[in-house]
Chains A and B, each alone.
Chain A
């Protein structure tokens, strides 16, 4: 068996690949659901109603999707340049901490749009700096960034614990380890009244469009692509690889940090060590399912949010452990890898 690179990847193939991967994941996981003694049809039906069956369910699904869009985008822009940023979780928390710290009192009284911009910038800066460290370690010392970004996730989570039990501890929280809350006036407005869905999702989609334009239309976008495809050839052609990777790191870390800031300013209002149910890690799956395309990230985020929100409801209704959501994600990721292979290569016997 041999693989031959296809001349070009057709658009239908690019759209069919993720659909096929998701379908394959659902079929494979049906067996695991059946092992629980529950009909997969019933389980998947409950999952769908759990995610879209009511007004509350729909808003909850999109509330869950908004941080995923940004953490997914963060992974996608980095992976595109073959910068393996697995630290989205840590960057998310750093952004959240920055937003909580400044949003509690420092920026109260600022004109509103300006305060929001400042908080967003602070969140992005916190996330960006966190990824800058592994990026520099790789560029200067050749340290693999997969391991460093991952280890930083553990360090950051402990740091969050330190903060919410220490300097940022909310004295009004009856001893619960949670951070001081964001001032009520600085919280992002709701998009749908009487729900947790807030303007964060609009913001996230706007950011996606901006990143898409940057990738498609600017020199930086072209340099990123070149650095990802063949760094040696790109360097020979005069692409400043180091500078490009540093910029990509700042962008990627910044996006994940922004996700954390928005989550704190929007639906949650404060930081705890359980603020993220793994948004950073799920972002990696989102990015892969999207084939690293910014627009695909939105669709993939909605799918992932559907599975997670739906799995909770399904678990309550049928007793199938909600860990099935993580299994579906993981199988979809592996299936997508294979699907992508066949969109870019053809098999020769």
Chain B
């Protein structure tokens, strides 16, 4: 038991927490932007897969790591555009369209990867992002090692949380976005176009989701392989509800989740006689528990999943 507590006191655990949380932070932020504008995006699992593939492939083909991230965002936005076209102007079921996007984006990623990359016994690798210690700040004991010795995409994720929180709460753009998710008719009465806002929100949100996938292949690992997103997208959908659609709480949710994940990983090596599958199940069980705890109190955006048609009530 003591050993379990010892684990909690190590900087390496907390550093891992931030690393594990990074793809989730991107995913939750992306999903949050879509949903705040009134569109559920269940394409996330596939969009993350696509981001992981495109980001990796760009670097494999000689692009630098930042170009890889940019291309991933672009690919995510294309998928988001597709989902937006089907659900916003056409008003198709957001559930089914999202699932279709997930199937499409992951199948296409695997297909193109197989087509373009020679895979032997082991998947080919790239030189991934290395941890980048922030000057001065990284010298602070413990905190410096945990917070300021991460890979660059993790810093991007943290900055995005603040940026999106500020955008939603303080800017006219954020207000318009939130209103589109609550009452698109009121938005139209203001002379804005809710259809266009929704399309852009889904595209931008999907681009951010793709970053979560790209982080996996360009920073956390150095190769791409089928099934590597491993349900992280679905966990993000659960985390959005847990966060009641707020960026700050989304960060906390992703960190809590990652803490649990990192802790169970280390616990596996300490506790013997417990099948490893039980540890692996824990994150998924936890997501469901989190949903149950919060679902009742959650204040869902009023117009979420309601197709908006002009002049119709």
Binds A, one of B54-62, B160-168, B200-208, B234-242: B234-242
Output the least CB separation between B260 and chain A (Å).
15
Output the least CB separation between B301 and chain A (Å).
13
A329 to B101, CA, bound (A): 11
Q: Are B280 and A158 in contact (CB under 8 A)?
A: yes
Output the least CB separation between B109 and chain A (Å).
9
B90 at interface (Cβ–Cβ under 8 A)? Answer: yes
Output the least CB separation between A292 and chain B (Å).
11
A338 at interface (Cβ–Cβ under 8 A)? Answer: yes
B122 at interface (Cβ–Cβ under 8 A)? Answer: no
A327 at interface (Cβ–Cβ under 8 A)? Answer: yes
A interface secondary structure, majority: helix
Chain B contact-residue range equals 35 or more
A42 to B19, CA, bound (A): 47
CB neighbours (8 Å) of B278 from chain A are 158, 162
Q: Are A331 and B92 in contact (CB under 8 A)?
A: no
A176 at interface (Cβ–Cβ under 8 A)? Answer: no
A166 at interface (Cβ–Cβ under 8 A)? Answer: yes
B interface secondary structure, majority: helix
* Option from B95, B106, B288, B298 in Cβ contact (under 8 Å) with A84: B95
A294 to B100, CA, bound (A): 21
In the complex, per-residue mask of B222-248: 1 if CB is within 8 Å of any chain A CB, else 0: 000000001100110110010000000
Q: Given A161-B277, A323-B111, A338-B86, do A285 and B231 touch, yes or no (CB 8 Å)?
A: no
A337 to B99, CA, bound (A): 11
In the complex, per-residue mask of A316-336: 1 if CB is within 8 Å of any chain B CB, else 0: 000011011011011101100
A35 at interface (Cβ–Cβ under 8 A)? Answer: yes
Q: Are B89 and A334 in contact (CB under 8 A)?
A: no
In the complex, per-residue mask of B83-110: 1 if CB is within 8 Å of any chain A CB, else 0: 0001001111101110111011011101
B136 at interface (Cβ–Cβ under 8 A)? Answer: no
A93 at interface (Cβ–Cβ under 8 A)? Answer: no
Q: Given A141-B292, A151-B238, A159-B277, do A334 and B100 touch, yes or no (CB 8 Å)?
A: yes
A106 at interface (Cβ–Cβ under 8 A)? Answer: no
Q: Using a CB-CB cutoff of 8 Å, which residues 17-33 of chain A contact chain B?
A: 32
CB neighbours (8 Å) of B291 from chain A are 137, 143-144, 147-148
A98 to B114, CA, bound (A): 37
Q: Are A151 and B234 in contact (CB under 8 A)?
A: yes
Q: Are B275 and A166 in contact (CB under 8 A)?
A: yes
Q: Are A284 and B292 in contact (CB under 8 A)?
A: no
Q: Are B97 and A334 in contact (CB under 8 A)?
A: yes
Which among B97, B275, B288, B310 has the highest number of chain A CB atoms within 10 Å?
B288
CB neighbours (8 Å) of B99 from chain A are 86, 146, 284, 333
CB neighbours (8 Å) of A36 from chain B are 115
A110 at interface (Cβ–Cβ under 8 A)? Answer: no
CB neighbours (8 Å) of B310 from chain A are 2
Q: Using a CB-CB cutoff of 8 Å, which residues 40-78 of chain B contact chain A?
A: 42
In the complex, per-residue mask of A109-152: 1 if CB is within 8 Å of any chain B CB, else 0: 00000000000000000000000000001000111101110111
CB neighbours (8 Å) of B280 from chain A are 158
Q: Are B281 and A158 in contact (CB under 8 A)?
A: yes
Q: Are B234 and A143 in contact (CB under 8 A)?
A: no
Q: Are A330 and B281 in contact (CB under 8 A)?
A: no
Q: Given A137-B292, A141-B292, do A341 and B275 touch, yes or no (CB 8 Å)?
A: no
B284 at interface (Cβ–Cβ under 8 A)? Answer: yes
Q: Using a CB-CB cutoff of 8 Å, which residues 24-72 of chain A contact chain B?
A: 32, 35-36
Which among A36, A142, A147, A326 has the highest number of chain B CB atoms within 10 Å?
A147
With both beta carbons as reference points, the residue of chain A lying nearest to B285 in the complex is identified as A155
B8 at interface (Cβ–Cβ under 8 A)? Answer: no
CB neighbours (8 Å) of A331 from chain B are 104
Q: Are A334 and B111 in contact (CB under 8 A)?
A: no
CB neighbours (8 Å) of A284 from chain B are 99
Output the least CB separation between B149 and chain A (Å).
32
Q: Given A142-B295, A334-B104, do A165 and B275 touch, yes or no (CB 8 Å)?
A: yes
Q: Given A143-B291, A323-B110, A327-B111, do A151 and B277 touch, yes or no (CB 8 Å)?
A: no
In the complex, per-residue mask of A75-118: 1 if CB is within 8 Å of any chain B CB, else 0: 00001000010100000000000000000000000000000000
CB neighbours (8 Å) of A152 from chain B are 284, 288
Binding site for B on A (CB under 8 A): 1-3, 32, 35-36, 79, 84, 86, 137, 141-144, 146-148, 150-152, 154-155, 158-159, 161-162, 165-166, 281, 284-285, 288, 320-321, 323-324, 326-327, 329-331, 333-334, 337-338, 341
Contacts A/B (CB < 8 Å), 6 sampled = A144-B291, A147-B237, A151-B234, A284-B99, A327-B107, A327-B111
Binding site for A on B (CB under 8 A): 42, 82, 86, 89-93, 95-97, 99-101, 103-104, 106-108, 110-111, 114-115, 230-231, 234-235, 237-238, 241, 275, 277-278, 280-281, 284-285, 287-288, 291-292, 295-296, 298, 309-310
Closest 6 CB pairs of A and B: A326-B107, A321-B114, A330-B104, A330-B103, A323-B111, A162-B277
